[in-house]
Amino acid sequence: MTRALMFQGTGSDVGKTVLVAGFCRLAANHGLKVRPFKPQNMSNNAAVADDGGEIGRAQWLQALACRVPASVHMNPVLLKPQSETGSQVVVQGKVFGQARGRDYQKLKPQLMAAVMDSFGRVAEGADLVLVEGAGSPAEINLRAGDIANMGFATSAGVPVVLVGDIDRGGVIASVVGTHTILPDGDRSMIAAYLINKFRGDVSLFDDGITSIGGFTGWPCLGVVPWLKSAARLPAEDSVALERLVRGEARALKIAVPVLSRIANFDDFDPLRAEPEVELVFVRPGERLPGDAGLVILPGSKSTISDLADFRRQGWDADLEAHRRRGGRIIGICGGLQMLGRMVRDPQGVEGGETATEGLGFLDIETEMAPEKTVRNISARSAEYDVALSGYEIHLGVSKGADAVRPMTILDGRPDGAMSPDGRVSGTYLHGLFDSDEFRARLLAEFGIRGGESNYRADVDRALDEIAEELERLVGFEQLMRLSAPIGR
């Protein structure tokens, strides 16, 4: 019989994604058929599942940890923020519609059927399903119609481990406070709690465990230190960008402007791992560094509004100065669209302005269309003639004179564009920098070595290292003891 266990947090960004991925790999290493599941995710870092359609990048990573193909049913509801108050709603891999925050609260009960259907599909044939919550069950103002946390746990009969982040402080209060405000039915679903991101001597928290137990009666599943290997895994969403600090100066500085609706920024993780590369995420209010050799415009969930914000930051002038200095520019997906002469959205697909001038670095124009391109693809670099692989998630088609010089060949067709001198280029391909050969050829243009480590293999090694730590700190037997048969 399939067993399941859910991990919920005392707040957002407490490390649930990494823990679930690590426990998935731990169970897989013990020979179990384990699957990940997240009822509802909010992120513009999306992936293309092996069965087609979009899911959160975190669930793609967790499927990798399980050593199974990713499925749209592992993340049946994905919210992709398009503005401060509204998101695109993706259900079982396909665009369902748009919804503002208050409207989505009314929509949630209608989505529970899809959530439970997907959970049943994921559980079929599995020994264990590890479920990740979203946000926190302590947000009791959102409890009515909830599908992400206790609403799902109580409907599916899945026990819960509550995760607290000690690194941010106040972890005892957050765990005890969650116990205090949860209604009895929800509180009874919590089988244990786990303290995450501990630094220093774990024994110093012994009295904390005693105190939490006295207030709640919950057992402690374990105290997990800061998992250093987690830094080598793709980040789930843009919250991670706020924590990144600028590293030491290295041979090549690559600058990435952080757009308001930046998407799929894990595209740059392979570059960040290069020993001779200093990858700088440029935040609003900062200037694009004048000593960068390469500027990369990332993907965007809202190209037109991000273009306006790009100009408000003064980054258009910075980019022009970079170009005059002979610097190189690459655009990925929305970044490609921004580099063109014009972006049109005649049907209001993005929900804002219907047209805007692009930055004008490439002689192309983009027109948005309601039908989204979502697919995994094999590809080649037209510039270096090396193999690539990755995925497309985008609205719109880009055409123009510079498109006769494609940057990539996707499934046999030209893609993207390149300026006549080759200093500005762009592609719709996400995963461009995953190719070790491509990174080696690109970095060689700047006179440095790269591409010598296998990025994908390093991610897999990091998952194994995290699983080994969790085996030592928590244990496989404890994990299974807390899980429960589905439908008991």
User: 3-state class of 360 per DSSP?
Assistant: coil
Q: For residues 257 and 262, give the distance between their C-alpha atoms in angstroms, rounded to a whole number.
A: 9
Pairing label, strands 484-485, 3-9: antiparallel
- Triad 255, 61, 65: Cα angle to 5°: 135
Catalytic status, residue 430: yes
Q: Would you state the structure tokens that stand for residue 229, as one six-digit string?
A: 């290997």
Q: Would you state the structure tokens that stand for residue 177, as one six-digit string?
A: 């406070």
Task: For CA atoms 143, 148, 154, 158, give the dihedral sign.
Answer: negative
**CA distances (Å), origin 387, targets 76, 249, 365, 392, 412:** 32, 31, 27, 16, 12
User: What DSSP line would sit under 123-135, residue for residue?
Assistant: HTT-SEEEEE--S
Residue 399 and residue 364 in contact, taking contact as beta carbons nearer than 8 Å:
yes
Q: For residues 160 and 4, give the distance between their C-alpha atoms in angstroms, rounded to a whole number.
A: 9
Sort residue 308 into left (φ over 0), alpha (ψ -120 to 50) or beta: alpha
Q: For residues 232 and 61, give the distance between their C-alpha atoms in angstroms, rounded to a whole number.
A: 12
Catalytic status, residue 220: no
Within 10 angstroms of residue 252's Cβ, the number of other Cβ atoms is 20
Q: Phi/psi of residue 329, each to 5°?
A: -130, 135
- Residue of 73, 179, 322, 430 marked active site: 430
- Residue of 66, 179, 333, 394 marked active site: 333
HSE of 88, CA atoms in CB hemisphere, 13 A? 21
**CA distances (Å), origin 52, targets 60, 97, 123:** 12, 18, 19
Which residues form the catalytic set? 333, 430
